[in-house]
A and B are shown apart, each in its own frame.
Chain A
Amino acid sequence: MLQFKNVTKTFNGPQGTVTALNNISFTVNPGEVVAVRGPSGCGKSTLLLTAGSLLRPTTGDVQIGEADPYALPQNGRSALRTETIGFVFQQFHLVPYLSVIDNILLPSVVKKAEDAKERAQQLLNRFGMEHRAHHVPAQLSIGERQRTALARALFNNPKLLLADEPTGNLDPENGEIVIQALKTFAQKGGAVLLVTHDIADCATRTLQMKNGSFV
C-alpha cells in the first residue's frame, strides 16, 4: 500500500544541510500496522509527511497504492489524500468552531457523499461519542478529541492511515481505544503507519529510526 524506495529528504538551513531521511526504503502492506520508533528529531514526522504526499522527497520514490503522488499535480495529490489517506495527529487538529459531528463530516466538503450523515453517525457510535455529537472541541476531554480526530480520519474509508503519536496525550483508557481502532482498521485490510517514541503494542512490525535511517 505504501512503498518507500531509497527516499532521502534534506533541508537547507542556516546551519547547513540537514538530512532528515537518509536513503529509506520500506513497505507497509494492507493489514499491517507498522510502527516507526525513535527519539525526537530522528525524522519520524518527516517520514510521515512524506508518506502522506505532503512533503516531496529530495531523492527516491514514494508509491501509495498504484500512484506516485509526487508525479501528480498539487490538486491530484489533494484528491489522492482525500480518497486514500487518513491522518491522525498528536495535537488532533480539530476545527474549533465545528461540533463533533461536523468535524467528522469535514472531509465531505471536498468529497460529496449522499450517506455522509449516516457514516458520521456510525463513527460517532463506534467511538462512543453520540452524546457529544453537538459539542465543540473545547467542551471535550483530550480522549474525546482524539476519538473525534480518529473518526474524521476514517470518514472517507481510507486505505492508508498515518498516525503521528496518536496516543501521546491520552490516558491509558483512551489510548487503548485508539490502539484498538488502528488494529481494527488494519484487520479490515487497511495499512497503518504509526510514528511514536513509545512501544507500540499494536504494531505488526516496528522499525527503529535514528538520524534519518532505520537501524
Chain B
Amino acid sequence: MKLRQLIQREMLFRRRRVLATLFAVTVAAGTLTASIAMLHLHDRAAQTLLNVREKETTDAGAALRDEMRKATLKLSFNLLILPDGVDLKQWYIDQESDLTLPETYGNQLANSGIVTVRHILPMIQKRIRWPETGRTIILIGTRGETAEGFSNPRKPLIQPVPEGTIVLGHELHRSLGLNEGDSVQLMGRNLTIHRLHEERGSKDDITAWIYLSDAQELLGMDNKISSLLALECLCGGGMIDKIRAQVASILPSTQVVEMGTKVLARAEARIQANTETYRQLEEEKAKQHELAIQRQRFAALLVPLILLLCAGWIGLLTFADVRERRGEIGMLRTIGFQTQTLLQLFLIKAAWIGFAGGALGYALGTGLCVFRISGTAGLTQADIASVWNGVHALYAIGGAILLMLISAWIPALTASQTDPAEVLRDD
C-alpha cells in the first residue's frame, strides 16, 4: 500500500470536510483571480478609451495645426495704416475719418524695401449718402495694389475695380434690383456695375467700391487717401511692434493697426476647443487613474481579508480533521509511521485540495469576471480572451497550494507531533 492510496481513501471517506475545504480554497483562488482579472480588464478598457480619445484629439489637433499653417501661410497678417491722429475708438464706430494720408505713401512703402509687407492697397473710405437712391452707404475707393516698388511682385490678392465702374455689396444691389452691366449714377457720375458681391453679413453688404481717382474726385480728396491696407504681412504676433516701428520710420505721422480675420478668429476658437479637449482628456486620465487606484485599494483590502478568512477556515477544518483522527494517528505511530510521513499525510492532501481548488477557483473566477465584464466599452474580444492566461492559472494554482500548505501546516505539525502513548492511554 502506498501513502497516496491512504490519502485518497481518507479523502473519499471524509468527503464533506474535503468539499468544505475545497470550497474555501476555491473561494480564495477565485477571489484572487477575479480581482486580478477585473483590475486588468478595467485598466485595459480605460486605457483603450483614453487611447481612442487621445488619438481623436491628436488627429483633430494635427488637422487644426495643418489648417492653421495653411491659413497663416495664405493670409499672414493684415495691417491697416491710418493717419496718426485718427481716434481709433471713433474710427471703429464711423468706419471713416476726416484725416488723410498722401496717396504717395503707397509707393513710398512699396519702394522702401520692407520685406515683411507684401501687398499694399491705398484706399479712401467714407460713409456717404447716395443722393440718387437716398441710401447711406460706405464708399470705398481703391485702385488696386501698389506693386511697382517690389522687386518680385506677388499676384494681387484683391482684384482692382476698373475706372468708371462700381462694385456693389449684396444688400445694395438686392434692394435696388441691380445687375452686373447695369448703369447707375453716383453723385452725378455714370458708373457701370462691374461686379455684385454675395451676402457677407457685414458692412460690406452696404458698401460700394469704385476706382480710387473716381472716389477722390467725387469726394474732393485729390491725391489723398484715408488709409493703406497692407495684406499678407510676414510677421508673427511677436513681430508686430517691429513692423509698427518700421512703418512709422518710412511713413511719418501714421499708426499701424493689426486686423484680425475671421479665419484667425475661427482658428483661435478651435485652438481653444482643442486645448479644452486636451484638458478634458487629462481630466479623464486623472479620473481613470483615480478609479484604478480606488479599485486597487478595494481589492487590496478585500482580497487579503477573504484570503485570511479562507485560511482560518481551512486551518479550523484541518484542526478538526486532526482531532478526529487522533486515535488513528496514535495507531499509525505504533506501527512505525515517522513524523515526516505523518506530516506528508496531511500536507499532500492539502496540496491536492489546493491544486483542485486553485484550478476550480481560476476557472470560476475568470469565468465570472468575463461574464461580468462582457460588453464593457473599450474592451475587445481579444482583451477579454487574454484573461484566460496560462501564467495566471499557474499563479492561481500555486497560490492556492501555498495557502493550503500554510493553513494546514500548524495542524499537520500538531498531528505529526502527537504523542501516541498519550492517545493510547486515553483510549
Seen from chain A, the residues whose Cβ lies within 8 Å of a Cβ on chain B are 45-46, 49, 52, 54-55, 74-75, 78-79, 81-83, 85, 87, 89, 91, 93, 95-98, 102, 105-111, 116, 152, 164
Which single member of B1, B6, B332, B424 contacts A54 (CB below 8 Å)? B424
CB distance A78 to B337 under 8 Å?
A: yes
CB distance A78 to B424 under 8 Å?
A: no
Bound CA–CA A78/B425 (angstroms): 18
CB distance B336 to A89 under 8 Å?
A: no
Chain B residues lying within 8 Å of A81, measured Cβ to Cβ, are 334-336
List 24 interface pairs A-B (beta carbons < 8 Å), by A numbering.
Answer: A45-B424, A49-B421, A49-B424, A54-B421, A54-B424, A79-B336, A81-B334, A82-B335, A85-B334, A87-B331, A87-B334, A89-B424, A91-B327, A93-B331, A97-B13, A97-B14, A98-B6, A106-B1, A106-B332, A106-B335, A110-B336, A110-B337, A111-B336, A116-B1
Bound CA–CA A87/B327 (angstroms): 14
Bound CA–CA A2/B353 (angstroms): 44
CB distance from B9 to the nearest CB of A (A): 5
CB distance B339 to A75 under 8 Å?
A: yes
CB distance A102 to B427 under 8 Å?
A: no
Bound CA–CA A107/B341 (angstroms): 12
Bound CA–CA A91/B420 (angstroms): 14
Chain A residues lying within 8 Å of B327, measured Cβ to Cβ, are 91, 93
For chain B, the count of residues having a C-beta within 8 Å of the partner chain is 28
CB distance A45 to B425 under 8 Å?
A: yes
Chain B residues lying within 8 Å of A82, measured Cβ to Cβ, are 335-336
Which single member of B3, B10, B337 contacts A97 (CB below 8 Å)? B10
The verdict on B12 contacting chain A, using a C-beta distance below 8 Å, is: yes
Given A89-B427, A91-B427, A110-B341, do A97 and B334 touch, yes or no (CB 8 Å)? no
In the complex, the chain B residue whose C-beta lies closest to that of A91 is: B427
CB distance A97 to B330 under 8 Å?
A: no
Bound CA–CA A74/B340 (angstroms): 11
CB distance B10 to A102 under 8 Å?
A: no
Chain B residues lying within 8 Å of A108, measured Cβ to Cβ, are 1
CB distance A54 to B333 under 8 Å?
A: yes
Bound CA–CA A97/B324 (angstroms): 13
CB distance from A183 to the nearest CB of B (A): 23
In the complex, the chain A residue whose C-beta lies closest to that of B331 is: A93
Bound CA–CA A164/B424 (angstroms): 10
Bound CA–CA A105/B10 (angstroms): 15
Which single member of A45, A87, A102, A164 contacts B335 (CB below 8 Å)? A87
Bound CA–CA A98/B328 (angstroms): 11
CB distance B338 to A110 under 8 Å?
A: yes
In the complex, the chain B residue whose C-beta lies closest to that of A101 is: B1
In the complex, the chain B residue whose C-beta lies closest to that of A50 is: B421
Report whether over half of chain B's contact residues are helix, strand or loop; otherwise say mixed.
helix
Chain B residues lying within 8 Å of A54, measured Cβ to Cβ, are 333-334, 420-421, 424
Bound CA–CA A82/B341 (angstroms): 13
The verdict on B2 contacting chain A, using a C-beta distance below 8 Å, is: yes
CB distance from A19 to the nearest CB of B (A): 15
CB distance A109 to B341 under 8 Å?
A: yes
Chain B residues lying within 8 Å of A83, measured Cβ to Cβ, are 336
Bound CA–CA A75/B1 (angstroms): 20
In the complex, the chain B residue whose C-beta lies closest to that of A20 is: B425
Seen from chain B, the residues whose Cβ lies within 8 Å of a Cβ on chain A are 1-3, 5-6, 9-10, 12-14, 327-328, 330-339, 341, 420-421, 424-425, 427
CB distance from A130 to the nearest CB of B (A): 18
CB distance from B249 to the nearest CB of A (A): 109
Given A75-B339, A98-B9, do A52 and B2 touch, yes or no (CB 8 Å)? no
Report whether over half of chain A's contact residues are helix, strand or loop; otherwise say mixed.
helix
Chain A residues lying within 8 Å of B12, measured Cβ to Cβ, are 97
In the complex, the chain B residue whose C-beta lies closest to that of A11 is: B425
CB distance B421 to A97 under 8 Å?
A: no
Chain B residues lying within 8 Å of A110, measured Cβ to Cβ, are 335-338, 341
From B14, B336, B341, name the one whose CB has the most chain A CB atoms within 10 angstroms: B336
In the complex, the chain B residue whose C-beta lies closest to that of A86 is: B335
Chain A residues lying within 8 Å of B333, measured Cβ to Cβ, are 54, 78
Q: A55-B421, A74-B338, A109-B1 are in contact. List 13 more A-B contacts (CB 8 A).
A: A49-B425, A54-B333, A54-B424, A75-B339, A78-B336, A83-B336, A87-B334, A95-B331, A105-B1, A106-B6, A107-B336, A109-B6, A111-B336
CB distance B339 to A52 under 8 Å?
A: no
Chain A residues lying within 8 Å of B330, measured Cβ to Cβ, are 93
Chain A residues lying within 8 Å of B425, measured Cβ to Cβ, are 45-46, 49
Of all A-B residue pairs in the complex, the 4 with the closest CB atoms, nearest first, are A82-B336, A97-B13, A93-B331, A55-B421
Bound CA–CA A46/B426 (angstroms): 11
CB distance from A143 to the nearest CB of B (A): 19
CB distance from B272 to the nearest CB of A (A): 79
Chain A residues lying within 8 Å of B336, measured Cβ to Cβ, are 78-79, 81-83, 107, 110-111
In the complex, the chain B residue whose C-beta lies closest to that of A79 is: B336
In the complex, the chain B residue whose C-beta lies closest to that of A164 is: B424
CB distance A109 to B420 under 8 Å?
A: no
CB distance from B423 to the nearest CB of A (A): 9
CB distance from A98 to the nearest CB of B (A): 6
In the complex, the chain A residue whose C-beta lies closest to that of B334 is: A87
Chain A residues lying within 8 Å of B9, measured Cβ to Cβ, are 97-98, 102
CB distance from B347 to the nearest CB of A (A): 16
CB distance from A43 to the nearest CB of B (A): 11
In the complex, the chain B residue whose C-beta lies closest to that of A52 is: B334
Chain A residues lying within 8 Å of B328, measured Cβ to Cβ, are 93, 95-96
